[in-house]
Chains A and B, each alone.
Chain A
Amino acid sequence: MSGSREKYLELLRKLPFQAIADTPTVRYYTDWKEYEARLDSEYADEPDEVAEFLRDLRSEANVVLDVDVSITGLPKGVAAERIEDYVDGEGLKPFTLIEVANKMTAYHAYRWREGVKITVEEGADFGRIVLFSGSGRDGYVGHHILLDVGEGAKGEIVFVDYAGESGGLKTLLAEIRVNPKAEVNLVTLVHHGKNKPVYALRAVEVLAQASVESLFFAAGGKMTRFQDDNLINGRLARFEMKASNVARPATKSDIILSTLHKGPESEGVVKARGIVIGDGYLAQRGAAVLYDEASLAASEVESYVTLLSEKGKGYAVPVLEIHTGEITRAGHSAAVASLGEEFTFYLKTRGLSEDEITGLLIEGVASFSGVAEKLAIPFTELIK
């Protein structure tokens, strides 16, 4: 471990898991104890086994991180290199878009080992890049991804955050910059096992006139915190997201999908649908923040969570903050609905039995984002 990481050790000791403490109005949606209990995990020596339904995608992947980093068959105009703490030269460096501001980011900063920097050339029409962040068997892995999409480049990025069924701990930080006029389809699949907490933080910066269409699917595990900060930082930058979040029985997820507008006339849309199966737990949160600089920005956040059982817990927490005088549009709506009597009755009047109703709802929410379809994975595999 290089000396430069010592400062993070100090931060790790000093910083709290979450800046604002638990009060009657502010609560922890993440169960930090799950992470705390595993902070002293050893580094994992071997990769976790990858679930059957993801093996094709993993072998197709251009960049795989588990207990090692491998890079294969990159499309034309795309370069990738393994990184350690330090990156020379221009462009993104670790902690450019992410600040070490809490215990888990400090922990990651101190301990991460597998890192990669991917650079897409200006103007490249790169087709598709598959990035697969896996996990380690019964130990800790920390993955750090830098992705710099050059001006005017175009293509699809598949981003997989997978954790297998063994124990241990995983942290994943990703910093993605989409330079002016680039057009990116970002397809994210988060799938975590029931024994390993995962802390993930991704910052996506969208610069002037660039556009990102983000499709997102998450099926959390033991404890999944996935924070996706989308920084809409340039004039006329566009960001649009559709998310499906599934809390399977005996899993806990805190999914935070935010749009942070700093670009004038920028546009952001987040539509999230969540479903809680059995005694699962899902907090589906999102902040839409329109900063001072974001004059005439337009922002919309929609968050719906459906609870299938009384044993489940679900939260839909949108926050809209407007710091700019003039906006074009800002809207947010959210609701948590239980499979109430009226709701069930309505669907029964269409001839559906209770089991069929549950099936229809799970399929509906799970396929809402279009990720399963895009990756040609049957949604039934994703929610097993």
Chain B
Amino acid sequence: MGLEVVNLTARIGEKTVLKNVSLNVNYGEVHAIMGPNGSGKSSLAYVIMGREIYEVVDGDILLDGESIKDLPPEERAIKGIFLAMQDPPQVPGVRLSSLIIAAANKKLGGEGELGRPRDPRILKRMMELAKEIGLDPSILQREVNVGFSGGERKRSEILQALLLDPKIVILDEPDSGLDIDGIKIVAQYINKLREQGKGVMLITHYARLLQYVKPDRVTVLIGGEVVATDGYELARLVEEKGYAYVKQAFRKGSAQG
């Protein structure tokens, strides 16, 4: 159970960005995806989420054993996949609280105005949680990502992940642009998501964040291909020896084995 990516090949325009990628994200686990810039990490996140500019050439994506490959992004979201984008865009005019209320309403289903909370408890919870993760609750009255600092953007995405109660959370470089205190807070809430039993796919370029979130599984992606999958040790190997070394070592490994 959880998220299964099976032999996934996908392209954008002429470029094949994922080549026969297979991996699982299990509930209650953090699966770290590492790889150098341009290796296809964000593409993987987007394809799982159903971004329409990507074309799935082959393979499948399953949530709890059911294919979601042909669903539009919003239905994947409602089914319980949450993506925190690496660099989410500004949405002028729309308050963060309005977006959260609309998203929570969609998650709950049913009829009624999108702007009126179907479960009024969300109002209190968003205030409390914002404070907990070190955001000034007035951020909820501000427009989504407009004038947010790097740290505020990242935390606001984490806040939404916590509030919307997804099954699978995909975090695309939630640590980029954060100072060490910011990284610690983000890490704390990634651990919390795991404790809550969610499956977390944690995309990260550097191993720094992984000192605070010990992943259950690590996959290294290079050139759109999975070159290695292993436990936490793999992250340390990447940090100590670099991607080129890991690629070589595992190629040898698989040739021998």
Contacts and interface: CB of A to CB of B under 8 A. Distances in A.
> Do A and B assemble together?
yes
Interface of A: 244, 273, 275, 304, 306, 335, 337, 340-343, 345-353, 356, 359-361, 363-365, 368
Given A273-B93, A304-B92, A364-B95, A348 B72 contact: yes
Given A244-B93, A304-B92, A361-B91, 4 more contacts: A348-B73, A349-B74, A351-B106, A365-B92
A244 B164 CA distance: 30
Contact of B94 (A244, A348, A361): A361
B77 A351 contact: yes
A368 B53 CA distance: 32
B103 A350 contact: yes
A337 B92 contact: yes
A69 B14 CA distance: 68
A356 B83 CA distance: 19
Given A350-B160, A351-B107, A364-B143, A345 B95 contact: no
Contacts of B85: 346, 349
B89 A348 contact: no
Contact of A352 (B83, B89, B102): B102
A370 to B, nearest CB: 12
Among A345, A350, A361, which residue has the most Cβ atoms of chain B within 10 A? A350
Given A341-B52, A341-B53, A359-B114, A349 B92 contact: no
B185 interface: no
B143 to A, nearest CB: 7
A354 to B, nearest CB: 9
A155 B218 CA distance: 63
Contacts of B77: 348-351
Contacts of B22: none
A349 B83 contact: yes
Contacts of B164: 350
A351 B72 contact: no
Interface in B49-104: 49, 51-53, 72-74, 77-78, 82-83, 85, 88-95, 98-99, 102-103
B115 interface: yes
Contacts of A359: 114
B139 interface: no
B146 interface: yes
B92 A306 contact: yes
B123 to A, nearest CB: 17
A363 B92 contact: no
Report the 4 A-B pairs with minimum CB-CB distance, sorted nearest first.
Answer: A364-B93, A364-B94, A351-B106, A365-B93
A349 B171 CA distance: 13
